[in-house]
Each structure stands twice: as C-alpha cells, then as structure tokens.
Structure 1
Amino acid sequence: MGTSLTPEFWERFAILLVAAMGVTIVLTAALDALAVRLLSRRAGRTPSPTRPRPTTTDHRTIVHS
C-alpha cells in the first residue's frame, strides 16, 4: 500500500523546518555571545607580560685594553 504525501504534510514539514532553523540560529548566537564574554573576561585577567632577563647576547661587554 503506497501513501502519498499530502499538502498538509508539506505545510507542517515547512513549519517545523523553519522552527528548527530559528531555534538553531538563536542557540548558536547565544552560545557564541557567551563564549565571547568568557574569553574577553579571561583575557582581562592575564598578568602583564614581564620583561625577560637579558642574556649574554643581549648586551655588550666592555673590554678595557
């Protein structure tokens, strides 16, 4: 027994498809905003970079003759 897809099926399918896309877009935007907020908050807490100690190649030794 074959069944045909009725216009009512396609109408409900389209409504559910649009609803699913809307939920996906809203959730993605909300999670993206949350991730950006957490990353910016974490970036603000990083300590300021300290100046590295000079090594022997960073300065010249004065040689008296």
Structure 2
Amino acid sequence: MGTSLTTEFWERFTVLLVLALAMTAILTAVFTTLFDRFTARLRSHRSHGTAPRIPHPRTRDDRPTPVHH
C-alpha cells in the first residue's frame, strides 16, 4: 500500500529545505568570523613577544683555530 506525496508535503519540504540552507549559511558566516578574529588575536598576541633570533652568517673568524702537531 503506497502513499502519494501531497502538495502539502512538498510545501513543507521546500520551506524546511530553505530554512536549513539559510541557517547553514548564517552559522557558517558567524563561525568563520569568530574563527578569523580568534586567529588574528592569537597572531597579534604572539608577535608582541621576543623577536626570533636570526643566526649571523659565519665568517672566517668564527672557525676554530686549527691545531698542528
């Protein structure tokens, strides 16, 4: 015994589908914005720390003195 899908079903289905798509888009935008703010805050917080050490290039004077026997 099969049932046919009525126009009322399709109307409700369409409304729920549109609402689900809208909610997905809105929540994605909100969480993306919050995540961007959070990562920007972390990056700015890290940049206020000490500067990373940059090794200086080795010169002839940096080499150990050779020992001759």
Q: Distance in 2 between matches of 1:50 and 1:60?
A: 25
AA at the equivalent of 1:31: F
The count of aligned residue pairs is: 60
Q: Name whichever structure is richer in helix by fraction.
A: 2
Residue of structure 1 in register with 2:51 after alignment: 49
Q: Distance in 2 between matches of 1:48 and 1:18?
A: 51
Q: Distance in 1 between matches of 2:13 and 2:7?
A: 10
Q: Distance in 2 between matches of 1:50 and 1:28?
A: 36
Q: Which blocks of at least 5 consecutive residues in structure 2 are unaligned?
A: 63-69
Q: Which blocks of at least 5 consecutive residues in structure 1 are unaligned?
A: none
Provide the identity percentage: 42
Q: Distance in 1 between matches of 2:58 and 2:51?
A: 18
- CA offset at residue 41 of structure 1? 0.3
AA at the equivalent of 2:54: P
Deviations 1:17-38 (A, max 9, x none): 0000000110011000000000
AA at the equivalent of 1:2: G
CA RMSD of aligned residues (A): 1.9
